Structure 1
Amino acid sequence: MVGELTFFLGLQVKQLDDRIFISQSKYAKELVKKFGMKDSKHIQTPMSTSSKLDRDSDPNKVDHFLHRSMIGSLLYFVATRPDIQFSVGVCARYQADPREQHILAVKRIIRYVNSTLNYGLRYSSESNSGNKDDKKNYMFLELGGDFTTVTKFVELKRIDLGYFC
């Protein structure tokens, strides 16, 4: 008989009776280390709200291999991190001809990942209806890695996952 699932395709899985927590904290640590940002300053947002990325304003070209490597690593990582999906998508637009402002934006995302290494997704069978027969499951972005001790979370979107047989 097969045991409880704990690791699958780079995803770390923690299971309890009424919830499942999925994260990529090991991959996050490796990503931060790979790009030399382990000791970088921690930040609270993945993208600046005041700066605007565009194609032509910055004349300073950068190594497009490095930029593509960073974006590729982050694109794999967004599977469990919806909080960075938009920012990574915006930065991915400039892979053909990256400039210094684009690589700085990608590095900011990696600094944010370094600040939030233990974030992940929590799937829960909690119901707000009070009906025990309500079979809707909910997805949350967990604000910490150990959901047995962390009670504070952000509800991302209620989704009906249907029945699992």
Structure 2
Amino acid sequence: MDQCNGADTPMSSNASLDADEKGKDFNITRYRGMIGSLLYLTASRPDIQFSVGMCAKFQSAPKESHAEHVKRIFRYLANTKTLGLWFPKGQPEHLVAYSDSDHAGYKTDRKSTSGQCQFFDSSLVSWFNKKQTSVAVSSIEESL
């Protein structure tokens, strides 16, 4: 069963890979090498980050079905060579970072969300968002 549907992306964001415990084993050293190469590429190709992360979960016991998903990412890269972040040599460098958070944004459990992103020139190079693990309580609410 192929979870990677869509010709324009290596794996859809709602795809899920499973352990495929009945599947045929794949060479662990080769699989880890393939994943390592893809992880290196995610620095300039953030469009494959989700797919590589999904496949990287199975490095301890890869199956042929997992390797097929990895090969699909390589085929995607071969067909989209013109995509990616471009950092021209000799250009002035400009790094900009943004950060934001809310207060008790999740109404059901009152947990806050924070996030940040960094741009190098006009290219998004890093991002992060997280639902906080602790509950936000306003200091005004404590005195009421």
In structure 1, what residue type is equivalent to 2:16?
A: K
Structure 1 position 49, deviation (Å): 6.2
1:78 aligned partner: 42
Alignment counterpart, residue 80 of structure 2, candidates 102, 113, 116: 116
Structure 1 position 51, deviation (Å): 5.5
Pair 1:66–1:89, CA change in 2 (3 A): same
1:69 aligned partner: 33
- Are 2:10 and 1:46 equivalent residues in the alignment? yes
Alignment of 1:82-121 (within 5 A): 82-121=46-85
Question: How many angstroms apart in 2 are the aligned matches of 1:72 and 1:79?
Answer: 12
Question: How many angstroms apart in 1 are the aligned matches of 2:53 and 2:33?
Answer: 14
Question: How many angstroms apart in 1 are the aligned matches of 2:22 and 2:13?
Answer: 18
Between structure 1 and structure 2, the one with the greater Rg is 2
2:122 aligned partner: 138
Question: How many angstroms apart in 1 are the aligned matches of 2:35 and 2:13?
Answer: 20
Pair 1:87–1:51, CA change in 2 (3 A): closer
* Structure ranking higher on relative contact order (CA contacts 8 Å, 6+ apart): 1
TM-score after normalising by structure 1: 0.47
Question: How many angstroms apart in 2 are the aligned matches of 1:114 and 1:58?
Answer: 31
Report SS of the residue matched to 1:117: coil
Question: How many angstroms apart in 2 are the aligned matches of 1:50 and 1:58?
Answer: 23
Structure 1 position 47, deviation (Å): 1.2
Structure 1 position 138, deviation (Å): 2.8
Question: How many angstroms apart in 2 are the aligned matches of 1:51 and 1:62?
Answer: 21
Task: Give me the identity figure in percent.
Answer: 44
In structure 2, what residue type is equivalent to 1:81?
A: R
In structure 1, what residue type is equivalent to 2:46?
A: P
Question: How many angstroms apart in 1 are the aligned matches of 2:14 and 2:53?
Answer: 18
Deviation sequence 1:32-81 (CA, Å, 0-9, x none): xxxxxxxxxxx421115676311144421111111111101111111100
Contact 1:122/1:140 (<8 A) preserved? no
Q: Which runs of 4+ in 1 moved over 6 A?
A: none
Question: How many angstroms apart in 1 are the aligned matches of 2:72 and 2:40?
Answer: 17
- Name the count of aligned residue pairs: 91
Contact 1:58/1:101 (<8 A) preserved? no
